[in-house]
């Protein structure tokens, strides 16, 4: 567990200094709060989930294919990604140039009592992403890794996977809407001009 050392609240703002340059889909729990905090709770460039576990990557992929001129990120946790890890192979098969995944891996199920997760027991999601066929992989295990990863997130020209290892401290304490329809409507109005 010794390499889960970074603080998500410190690393994510360095990785995504201009969050409004992206459309962002998040998985449930911690990464949802990370991104709402990063973008500001009144922003409409993100869609956060509070359920539908395993859906973040395919939802982001559907958005990326629909909006090829925008950069689309999925930010999700290790547990959410493991729930539907095959979606990494779907991303590799489609390889949208405007799309990438940021996995905030703390090695624990933080929302449910901090049980140790598969990555905490040795599963390596970056290796799984590479095995799935994703061409651009970046690991962020200490602060010296942040610069390269931030560049890939900003200008990468193939689907990418950024693997952040963070300690199991809490994500940002921020209130967000859990209304899935409201969030959808706000996102579409901002992006498309229609509800």
Partner 1 sequence: MPFDIPSPPPGDPNWPYEMYKLLKDEGVTQFSYVPDAGLKVMINLSLDDPDVHSIPLTTEEEGVAMAAGAHLGGQKHVLLMQSSGAGNCINMLSLPRIGKFPFLSIVSMRGDFGEGNPWQMPMGKSIQPVLEACEVVCLKIEDSSEVISTVSAAMTMAFQSQESVCVLLSQKMLGIKKF
Binding residues vs partner 1 (CB under 8 A): 23, 25, 47, 49, 51-67, 84, 86-87, 89-90, 93-94, 180-181, 183-184, 187-188, 191-192, 194
Measured between alpha carbons, how far is 137 from 69 in angstroms, rounded to an integer? 22
In the complex, minimum distance from the CB of residue 27 to partner 1, in angstroms, rounded to a whole number? 10
User: Tokens at residue 129, please?
Assistant: 């992403």
In the complex, minimum distance from the CB of residue 113 to partner 1, in angstroms, rounded to a whole number? 20
Residues 132-155, buried b or exposed e (16+ Cβ, 10 A)? Answer: bebebebbbbeeebbeebbebbee
Residue 155 or 194: the one with the smaller Cβ distance to partner 1 is 194
Residue 2 or 193: the one with the smaller Cβ distance to partner 1 is 193
In the complex, minimum distance from the CB of residue 62 to partner 1, in angstroms, rounded to a whole number? 3
Residue 15 or 61: the one with the smaller Cβ distance to partner 1 is 61
Strands 99-105 and 115-116: unpaired
Residue 11 or 134: the one with the smaller Cβ distance to partner 1 is 134
Burial (CB < 10 A; 0-12, 13-18, 19+), residue 19, is: buried
In the complex, minimum distance from the CB of residue 181 to partner 1, in angstroms, rounded to a whole number? 5
Contact 28, 22 (CB under 8 A): no
Measured between alpha carbons, how far is 164 from 8 in angstroms, rounded to an integer? 8
Measured between alpha carbons, how far is 115 from 113 in angstroms, rounded to an integer? 6
* Distance from the Cα of residue 42 to its chain's centroid: 19
In the complex, minimum distance from the CB of residue 142 to partner 1, in angstroms, rounded to a whole number? 32
In the complex, minimum distance from the CB of residue 136 to partner 1, in angstroms, rounded to a whole number? 20
Residue 54 or 120: the one with the smaller Cβ distance to partner 1 is 54
Residue 50 or 146: the one with the smaller Cβ distance to partner 1 is 50
């Amino acid at each position: 567990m010794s390499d889960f050392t970074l603080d998500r609240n410190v690393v994510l703002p360095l990785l995504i200094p201009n969050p409004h340059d992206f459309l962002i889909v998040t998985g449930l729990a911690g990464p949802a709060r990370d991104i709402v905090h990063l973008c500001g709770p009144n922003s409409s460039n993100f869609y956060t989930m509070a359920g539908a576990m395993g859906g973040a990557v395919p939802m982001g992929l559907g958005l990326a294919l629909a909006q090829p001129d925008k950069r689309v990120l999925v930010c999700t946790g290790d547990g959410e990604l493991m729930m539907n890890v095959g979606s990494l192979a779907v991303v590799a098969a489609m390889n949208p140039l405007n799309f990438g995944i940021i996995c905030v891996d703390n090695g624990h199920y933080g929302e449910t009592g901090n049980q140790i997760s598969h990555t905490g027991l040795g599963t390596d999601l970056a290796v799984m992403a590479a095995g799935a066929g994703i061409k651009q992989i970046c690991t962020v295990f200490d602060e010296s890794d942040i610069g390269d990863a931030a560049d890939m997130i900003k200008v990468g020209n193939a689907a990418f996977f950024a693997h952040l290892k963070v300690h199991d401290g809490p994500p940002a304490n921020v209130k967000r809407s859990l209304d899935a329809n409201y969030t959808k409507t706000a996102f579409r109005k901002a992006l498309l001009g229609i509800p």
